[in-house]
Structures are given as structure tokens and as C-alpha cells.
Amino acid sequence: MSESGGTATAAKALNAELRDYLRQWEEAKSSASRLVEDLSDEQLLWTPSPDGWSIAECFGHLNATVEAYFPRIDRAIEEGRAAGLLGDGPFRHGFLMNRFIKMLQPPPRRRFKVPGPIFQPKVDTPVRDTCERFLSHQDSLAERVRRADGLDLARVRLVSPVSRWLRMSLGQCFSLVATHQRRHLWQAARVRDTAGFPD
């Protein structure tokens, strides 16, 4: 069996919710790659307004966000496995967090302030490394989804890096990250379509 066939078989073995997260990580990689593949550093760093983000800053913010979630996801998977919180789904997640995640869907109807310094955009040097790091993170997310296989995605919970009072299920965390990525990939694409974008 080819490597690609083996990957497809492994994906089918996951429950429907986890398969959907894998699909969203792959879509994020494809969208990001198409967006930046022919852009110069000047174009990646161009901002549409004094308080707007460049394409590179959109990716930098997404990198900072997922890097804050990675250790919490890892701990939740480890603790959920140790506690025997297993399940096959379908899973029912909490209403309030589901509603917030829905509010993040692009195109944005509401703007949110960046919650704290750890989520501020961090742009690497060279700047293209920021975009490459985002692509690499999609593979890291996929690896964590596979490690979550067999867990009850609603009963395994974690605390958000935004606030110790904000808790969510593991499934909601994956969904939040995916939706947040779509929001800022949409934002980055709008930067490229803005009048005055460098040739």
C-alpha cells in the first residue's frame, strides 16, 4: 500500500469529528500556501492601514495562538487517557463555547481585541519563515488529532491560555483553533485584495 493510501486509511479509522478536524488542517495548509506562494517580503509585510495587520502579522498571530494551545492540548490528551475518558462519539459540546466559536466565523461580524501579549503577532526573520511555521503547525495539529483518537472529546477538558476561568472541551479547542485560523486567513486574503497592495 502506498504512503498516501495508508494515510487515507488511518484517517477513515478516526471518528467523524476528528476526521473533520484533519480536513480543516489540510484546507488551512492549502489556503495559506496559495495565498503566499508568489509574494515578496515587501508584500508580506505591507499593512493596509496604521492599525491593520500585514499578511505576515496575520500568520504571526496564528502561530502565537496555536503555540499557546499546544501544551494545553498535550496535557488534556495525556490526562484524559490516564483518567480513562474514552468515547467514540458523536459528542455533545457546551452551548456557550459553541456559540462563541460560531461568532469567530469569517467574514467577521464583530472585532475582538487581542487577549494579552502572548497572542500578539510575532514575525520571524526571514519573514517567509513565519508562513512556513504556520504550515508546519498544521501537521502538528493533525498529529495531536490522531493522538486524541478514542478519547471522549466532550469530557476531556482544558483551560484556555486566555483565562484560567475559560474552560472548553478538547473537541471545542480543536474547533476554536480551526475557526480562528479561517478568520485570520480570510483577513490575510483581504489584505492582498486591498487597493494599494504592492505589485
User: For residue 164, what pLDDT is reported?
Assistant: 83
> Could you tell me if residue 177 is inside a domain?
yes
Compute the distance between CA of residue 104 and CA of residue 72 in angstroms, rounded to an integer.
21
User: For residue 50, what pLDDT is reported?
Assistant: 87
Note whether 97 and 168 are within 8 A (CB): yes
Residue with the larger pLDDT of the pair 166 and 154: 154
Compute the distance between CA of residue 132 and CA of residue 138 in angstroms, rounded to an integer.
10
Range of the structural domain that residue 27 is part of? 19-192
> Could you tell me if residue 10 is inside a domain?
no
Is pLDDT of 9 > 50?
no
Q: Please state the domain count of the chain.
A: 1
User: For residue 2, what pLDDT is reported?
Assistant: 42
Note whether 110 and 180 are within 8 A (CB): no
> Could you tell me if residue 140 is inside a domain?
yes
User: For residue 123, what pLDDT is reported?
Assistant: 87
Is pLDDT of 3 > 80?
no
Environment class of residue 65 by beta-carbon count within 10 Å: exposed (0-12), middle (13-18) or buried (19+)?
buried
Going by the DSSP 8-state scheme, the letter that residue 51 receives in this structure is T
Over the chain, what is the mean pLDDT?
A: 89
> Could you tell me if residue 188 is inside a domain?
yes
Pure H helices in the chain: 3-13, 16-36, 41-45, 55-82, 95-103, 128-147, 170-192
Name every residue whose Cβ is closer than 8 Å to that of residue 199 and which is 6 or more positions away in sequence. none
> Could you tell me if residue 52 is inside a domain?
yes
Note whether 86 and 151 are within 8 A (CB): yes
Angle between the 16-36 and 128-147 helix axes, to the nearest 10 degrees? 170
CATH of residue 26:
1.20.120.450
Residue with the larger pLDDT of the pair 28 and 109: 28
User: For residue 16, what pLDDT is reported?
Assistant: 93
Name the grid cell of 174. 480543536
Q: What percent of the chain has pLDDT over 70?
A: 91
Compute the distance between CA of residue 179 and CA of residue 161 in angstroms, rounded to an integer.
17
Q: What's the whole-model pTM score?
A: 0.88
User: For residue 100, what pLDDT is reported?
Assistant: 87
Is pLDDT of 12 > 70?
no
Is pLDDT of 145 > 60?
yes
Residue with the larger pLDDT of the pair 112 and 151: 151
User: For residue 115, what pLDDT is reported?
Assistant: 66
Give the Å distances, CA to CA, from 7 to 10, 146, 179, 199: 5, 11, 24, 39
> Could you tell me if residue 2 is inside a domain?
no
Span 70-86, pLDDT tens digits: 999 999 999 999 999 99
